[in-house]
Amino acid sequence: MASTLELLEEHRLFGGWQQRWRHLSSTLNCTMTFSIFLPAPQGESPPPVVWFLSGLTCTDENFTTKSGAQRVAAELGLVLVMPDTSPRGAEVPNEEAYDLGQGAGFYLNATQAPWATHFQMYDYLSAELPALIADNFNISDRQAIAGHSMGGHGAIMLALRNPGRFVSASALAPIVNPCTVPWGEKAFRAYLGDDRQAWLPYDSCWLMRQATQTLPILIDQGDSDQFLADQLHPERLEEIAIEKNWPLTLRIQPGYDHSYYFIASFIEDHLRFHATHLRA
Amino acid sequence: MASTLELLEEHRLFGGWQQRWRHLSSTLNCTMTFSIFLPAPQGESPPPVVWFLSGLTCTDENFTTKSGAQRVAAELGLVLVMPDTSPRGAEVPNEEAYDLGQGAGFYLNATQAPWATHFQMYDYLSAELPALIADNFNISDRQAIAGHSMGGHGAIMLALRNPGRFVSASALAPIVNPCTVPWGEKAFRAYLGDDRQAWLPYDSCWLMRQATQTLPILIDQGDSDQFLADQLHPERLEEIAIEKNWPLTLRIQPGYDHSYYFIASFIEDHLRFHATHLRA
Question: What CATH code is carried by the domain that includes residue A205?
Answer: 3.40.50.1820
The β-bridge relationship of strands B143-148 and A16-25 is unpaired
Instruction: Return the number of other C-beta atoms located less than 10 Å from residue B164's C-beta.
Output: 8
Residue B1's pLDDT band, with cuts at 50, 70 and 90, is: very low
In a domain, A157, yes or no: yes
pLDDT of residue A176: 98
* Number of A–B residue contacts, CB under 8 Å: 60
- Contact status of A252 with chain B (Cβ, < 8 Å): no
CB < 8 Å to A68, chain B = 68, 71, 264
Q: Which helix (H) or strand (E) holds A16?
A: strand A16-25
Domain count, chain B: 1
Confidence band of A1 (pLDDT split at 50, 70, 90): very low
> What are the chain B neighbours of A265 within 8 Å (beta carbons)?
12-15
Residues of A in contact with B257 (CB under 8 A): 11-12
For residue A145, pLDDT over 90 is answered with yes
Q: Is there a domain that residue A102 lies in?
A: yes
Active-site position among A118, A153, A258, A277? A258
Sheet containing B49-53: give its strands across.
B6-13, B16-25, B30-38, B79-83, B49-53, B143-148, B169-172, B217-222, B248-253
SS (H, E, C) chain B: CCCCCEEEEEEEECCEEEEEEEEEECCCCEEEEEEEEECCCCCCCCCCEEEEECCCCCCCHHHHHHCCHHHHHHHHCCEEEEECCCCCCCCCCCCCCCCCECCECCCCECCCCCCCCCCEHHHHHHHHHHHHHHHHCCCCCCEEEEEECHHHHHHHHHHHHCCCCCCCEEEECCCCCHHHCHHHHHHHHHHHCCCHHHHHHHCHHHHHHHCCCCCCEEEEEECCCCCHHHHHCHHHHHHHHHHHCCCEEEEEECCCCCCHHHHHHHHHHHHHHHHHHHCC
| Residue A203, domain extent | 6-278
What pLDDT does residue A129 have?
98
User: Rounded distance, CA A78 to CA A140, Å?
Assistant: 10
Q: Look at residue B123 and tell me whether its pLDDT is greater than 60.
A: yes
**A87 in a structural domain:** yes
Q: Calculate what percentage of chain B has a pLDDT beyond 70.
A: 99
Question: Does A66 reach chain B within 8 Å, measured CB to CB?
Answer: yes
Question: Distance between CA A232 and CA A234 in Å, rounded?
Answer: 6
Q: How far apart are CA B238 and CA A79, in angstroms?
A: 37
pLDDT of B280 reads: 83
Cβ atoms of residues B98 and B85 within 8 Å? no
Inter-chain CB proximity A255 and B12 less than 8 Å? yes
pLDDT digits (tens, 9 = 90+) for A10-69: 999 999 999 999 999 999 999 999 999 999 998 889 999 999 999 999 999 999 999 999
Interval A120-134: pLDDT, tens: 999 999 999 999 999
Residue B1 lies in a domain: no
Single pTM value for the model: 0.96
Among the partner-chain residues A11, A70, A222, the one whose CB lies closest to the CB of B257 is A11
Q: What are the backbone dihedrals phi and psi of residue A46, each rounded to the nearest 5 degrees, phi first? A: -65, 145
ipTM of the complex: 0.94
Give pLDDT, residue A3: 60
Q: Please check whether residue A39 lies inside any domain of the structure.
A: yes
A168, A217 Cβ separation under 8 angstroms: yes
**What is the Cα–Cα distance from B260 to B57, expressed in whole angstroms?**
13
Whether B149 sits among the annotated catalytic residues: the reply is: yes
Q: What is the pLDDT of residue B44?
A: 86
Residue A1: inside a domain, yes or no?
no
pLDDT tens sequence across B149-192: 999 999 999 999 999 999 999 999 999 999 999 999 999 999 99
Segment A174-214, tens digit of pLDDT: 999 999 999 999 999 999 999 999 999 999 999 999 999 99
Give mean pLDDT, residues B28-57.
96
Residue B105 within a domain: yes
